[in-house]
Structure 1
Amino acid sequence: MSIYKDFSTVTRASLTHALAETSLSLDSAAIDSLMLAYDSLDLNPDASPGLMSLQSSTAIDAYIFSNGSPAMLKASVTKSLSLAQFQGIFRDIVSVEDVKVYKPDPRAYHHLAGRVGRGDLESIWLVSSNPFDIVGARAAGLKAAWVDRQGLGWIDGLGELVGGKGPTIVVRGVDEAVKEIQRQAGDL
Structure 2
Amino acid sequence: MIVLGSGGHTAEMIRIVNYLSFENYSPRIYVYADTDSMSIEKVKYLEKNNIDYKIIKIRRSREVHQSYYTSIYNTIYATLESVPHLWRECPELLLCNGPGTCVPLCIIVFLFKVFCITQSTIIFVESFCRVKTLSLTGKILYYIADYQIMQWPYLQKPNNENDKIFYI
Structure in which a larger fraction of residues adopt helix: 1
Structure in which a larger fraction of residues adopt strand: 2
- Pairwise TM-score range, normalised by the shorter structure: 0.3 to 0.5
Task: With the length of structure 1 as denominator, give the TM-score of the two structures.
Answer: 0.43
Work out which of the two has the higher radius of gyration on C-alpha atoms and give 1 or 2: 1
Task: With the length of structure 2 as denominator, give the TM-score of the two structures.
Answer: 0.47
